[in-house]
Structure formats: structure tokens, C-alpha cells
Amino acid sequence: QSVLTQPPSVSGAPGQRVTISCTGSSSNIGAGFDVHWYQQLPGTAPKLLIFGTTNRPAGVPDRFSGSKYGTSASLVITGLQAEDEADYYCQSYDSGLTDFHVFGPGTKVTVL
């Protein structure tokens, strides 16, 4: 049971905008710790998508964006494309009694 929660799945048609939420608490996201996002295609290792809550590594399309408010963070995909169909995980730091570096349970994005 992760200290971060994500919706199990979201879907959208090509070209649409989808939002994936990552909800934490006052011991992680709400404490001001950064949130990072990873994309995992089937059979491959996770790939860093967003670091430091809002930053994109080189090579990541600008249709991916991240934000944070209070105890929650969001990953937004604008202009959804077929190749965006994957699992998405958020990650942060928890200062409570749980794991220090925590991942969310993941969200499956389906392109309709």
C-alpha cells in the first residue's frame, strides 16, 4: 500500500488532454518535497518523464507537463498520441515512517 495514490487508469482519444493525479499527504508532497514522473512502456524499464515537479529532461516532448498543489501533483499530457499509451508512476520522498523514496501505484493510460 503506497503512501501516494493514483487513479488506476485514464483514457483519451488522440489529440485530447489527460490528467493523472498523484495524491499524498503532509509527510511527502504536502511537505514540499519534489514529485517526479516516469513512463513505462511494456517490457521496458521506467523512463524519467518529469523531475523536480515541473522539469522535463532533454528529449521529452513538451506535451508532458507537471505541477503540484498542496498534497497533490499532476501530470498532464496534452495532444495525446498513440505512443503515449503506457503506465505512469509518480515518485516523491516521504519523511514519515514509510519508505523514504516512494512510488505511486501507477496509472495506465489508454489511447482510444
Partner 1 sequence: QITLKESGPTLVKPTQTLTLTCTFSGFSLTTSEVGVGWIRQPPGKAPEWLALIYWDADKRYSPSLKSRLTITKDTSKNQVVLTMTNMDPVDTATYYCAHSINSGSYTYYFESWGQGTLVTVSS
Binding positions for partner 1, rule: CB under 8 A? 2, 32-34, 36, 38, 45-48, 51-52, 57, 89, 91-93, 95, 97-106
What is d(CA 73, CA 27) in angstroms, rounded to the nearest whole number?
14
Neighbours of 84 (CB within 10 A): 20
What is d(CA 17, CA 96) in angstroms, rounded to the nearest whole number?
34
Cβ closest to partner 1, residue 11 vs residue 95: 95
**What is the smallest separation between the CB atom of 51 and partner 1, expressed in angstroms?**
5
**What is the smallest separation between the CB atom of 82 and partner 1, expressed in angstroms?**
23
85: nearest Cα among 56, 63, 107: 107
**What is the smallest separation between the CB atom of 79 and partner 1, expressed in angstroms?**
25
What is d(CA 46, CA 38) in angstroms, rounded to the nearest whole number?
6
Cβ closest to partner 1, residue 45 vs residue 82: 45
Cβ closest to partner 1, residue 14 vs residue 52: 52
